[in-house]
Amino acid sequence: MTTYQIDKKNIYRYLEEIKDPEVPVLSIIDLGIVRDIKMNDDEIEVIITPTYTGCPAMDMITTTIKIELATLGFKKIKVTQALSPAWTTEWMSEEGKRKLKEYGIAPPNPKQQVCDQKLFAAAEAVQCPHCDSYHTHRISEFGSTACKALYQCDDCKEPFDYFKCH
């Protein structure tokens, strides 16, 4: 590592460029899945945590991180997955939540209202990302990807994805 002067802060800036392949407006930093970076000369280890256990995007993210870091001159690149403590939507950055809404996906509510076992509990009040109305209803708890639920707005009638609490 003689030609580059790279510190952790710079690495984070590079990782900012890596997007979630399924929600391409969110970087892996926005998602809060990068937990730590360990550097030693031309060796680097990035510790990430999966959002959902079966999320198929994780393998792709791992590969992209390796490719990005290789272009910076690192010889030994390791991406380690840490499961504990488990990822939570609370780790998503405010910037990330703003970007999600702009993209048309309702960001996760800050309070985890539905992560309990109660059956037929009233659906969470989720704001429509299109018209900002709270008059919305849940169509299905499971959506197009593991991390999303399906909602519809009762005012503007648009269906939308909600990044569900986790």
Beta carbon of residue 137, minimum distance to other proteins (angstroms, whole number): 13
Amino acid in the structure at residue 136 = T
Closer Cβ to other proteins, 37 or 123, answer by number? 123
Is 62 within 8 Å of 49 (Cβ atoms)?
Answer: no
Beta carbon of residue 85, minimum distance to other proteins (angstroms, whole number): 7
Beta bridge partners of 163: 148
Closer Cβ to other proteins, 35 or 72, answer by number? 35
Closer Cβ to other proteins, 24 or 85, answer by number? 85
Tell me which residues touch other proteins (CB under 8 A): 50, 52-56, 82-87, 115-120, 139-144, 146, 150, 166
Which region, left, alpha or beta, applies to residue 4 given φ > 0 means left and ψ of -120 to 50 means alpha?
Answer: beta
Beta carbon of residue 59, minimum distance to other proteins (angstroms, whole number): 10
Angle between helices 57-71 and 8-15 (to 10 degrees): 130
Beta carbon of residue 145, minimum distance to other proteins (angstroms, whole number): 8
Nearest 5 degrees, angle CA 89-CA 105-CA 147? 45
Closer Cβ to other proteins, 72 or 114, answer by number? 114
- Rounded to the nearest 10°, the torsion over CA 112, 148, 37, 42 is 180
